[in-house]
Amino acid sequence: MKLFDVYPLYEVCPVRAKDVYVYDEAGTEYLDLYGGHAVVSIGHSHPYYVNRLEDQLNKIAFYSNAVVNPLQQELADEIGDQSGLHNYQLFLCSSGAEANENALKLASFHTGKKRIIAFNNAFHGRTSAAVAVTDNLNINAPLNQQQEVTFIPFNDLEKLENELKKGDVCGVIFEPIQGVGGLDIPDDDFVIGMNTLCKKYKSCLIADEVQSGFSRSGNFFAFQQNNIEPHVITMAKGMGNGFPIGGVLVHPNLKPKYGMLGTTFGGNHLACTASLAVLEIIKKEKLQKHAKNMETYFRTKAEKIKGIKIKGRGLMLGLAFDFEVGPLRKKLIYEKNIFTGGSSNKNVLRILPPLTVQEKHFDRFFDALEDLL
């Protein structure tokens, strides 16, 4: 049987990993400044994380959501403590796309409407409604295109209000820091105005924190820089440090009913344990503050390079060049043994390292960059 060939691959085969490094079958060490699409939050194979998962495996790894699982409430409490969002409700699933699917469904349930407003260059997943609100027709099948979605640019409150005035919008979904789209960030005034307009026109505001959440931005959630209160918040990626888990935080104004959402695997014992271990390490090692400090150091180094623009926030960063970065990424991997990321903006090199990254790792990256440019 062949694999269904949908992934363009680099010819590197990691067989083990530790903190910010991965190693191939020949023992070659690579510096991981991409974290598997911002998934690796606390570093590869963190011993505390590994021990917590091993311990839970020896107890119970899985049962469905037909029985009580106290780990789910423990996880909800810890997310509430670290985010400060104690009044929200937690629904657990297994991925970012699944989280966004449920968020969109909740918005439609709550408002009784069905049109969604999304933003240019958005990425929210590759499934059903999540891909419909992703600004990329190449990955939208005719089935997905049946969804009623309107794309508008960031920072145009007039256009946003004109759409909301029509009265058929169930939700506005946005990334506080765009990921695949190239690390664009909406203006603070726009985010605050968007929050106000959604309340005025009784539409749900959905903050997609799948990539930017869990302290990557330097805040627990990136939207918290603007002191807004979304109706729904989605999360995944760094939430499990590689273990499949996603989540939806739901404002108390949105009321649950039996059967409206559901999942077989979401919130299983092992997934909850993985996420609890991540949160415990983030707190103990002060990784949220560390993300801010490392951003400052990264910017100091990057500002010395002429002709580039620094994008993003925290440890969700990018460098915008005046050329396409695909060949540069290949050189970084094959000549300098450094993993980085690309985006739909072909000129942007994305830097999404584990939150444990240190100054010496950025030093190595910038030395390599200087040598290659």
Q: What is the pLDDT of residue 325?
A: 97
Q: What is the pLDDT of residue 370?
A: 94
278 and 334 belong to one structural domain: no
Q: What is the pLDDT of residue 326?
A: 96
Q: What is the pLDDT of residue 162?
A: 98
Q: What is the pLDDT of residue 280?
A: 98
Q: How far, CA to CA in Å, does 260 sit from each of 64, 93, 103, 121, 327?
A: 16, 14, 12, 30, 47
197 and 266 belong to one structural domain: yes
Assigned domain for 172 exists: yes
Q: How far, CA to CA in Å, does 337 sit from each of 14, 169, 242?
A: 12, 47, 21
Give every residue of the chain whose pLDDT is below 70, as ranges. none
Assigned domain for 6 exists: no
Share in percent of the chain as helix, strand, coil (round to 5): 40, 20, 45
Assigned domain for 9 exists: no
Which of 284, 315, 332 is the endpoint of a domain? 284
Q: What is the pLDDT of residue 194?
A: 98
| Model pTM above 0.85 | yes
274 and 293 belong to one structural domain: no
Q: What is the pLDDT of residue 122?
A: 97
42 and 53 belong to one structural domain: no
Terminal-to-terminal C-alpha distance of the chain: 42
Which of 284, 301, 332 is the endpoint of a domain? 284
Q: What is the pLDDT of residue 222?
A: 98
Q: How many domains does the chain have?
A: 2
Q: List, in sequence order, the alpha helices (H) in the chain.
A: 35-38, 47-57, 70-83, 96-111, 128-132, 157-164, 188-200, 269-284, 287-302, 326-334, 359-372
204 and 290 belong to one structural domain: no
Q: What is the pLDDT of residue 53?
A: 98
Q: What is the pLDDT of residue 228?
A: 97
269 and 137 belong to one structural domain: yes
* Whether the Cβ atoms of residue 249 and residue 235 lie closer than 8 Å to each other: yes
319 and 221 belong to one structural domain: no
Assigned domain for 82 exists: yes
225 and 114 belong to one structural domain: yes
Q: What is the pLDDT of residue 343?
A: 95
Residue 78 belongs to a domain with what CATH number? 3.40.640.10
Which of 263, 284, 305 is the endpoint of a domain? 284
Assigned domain for 261 exists: yes
Assigned domain for 279 exists: yes
Rg value, the chain, Cα: 20
| DSSP secondary structure letter of residue 339 | E
258 and 299 belong to one structural domain: no
257 and 271 belong to one structural domain: yes
* Whether the Cβ atoms of residue 177 and residue 212 lie closer than 8 Å to each other: yes
292 and 169 belong to one structural domain: no
Range of the domain at 180: 49-284
* Whether the Cβ atoms of residue 33 and residue 361 lie closer than 8 Å to each other: yes
Q: What is the pLDDT of residue 51?
A: 98
Nearest to 107 by CA among 137, 148, 62, 68: 148
Residue 350 belongs to a domain with what CATH number? 3.90.1150.10
Assigned domain for 1 exists: no
Assigned domain for 245 exists: yes
30 and 89 belong to one structural domain: no
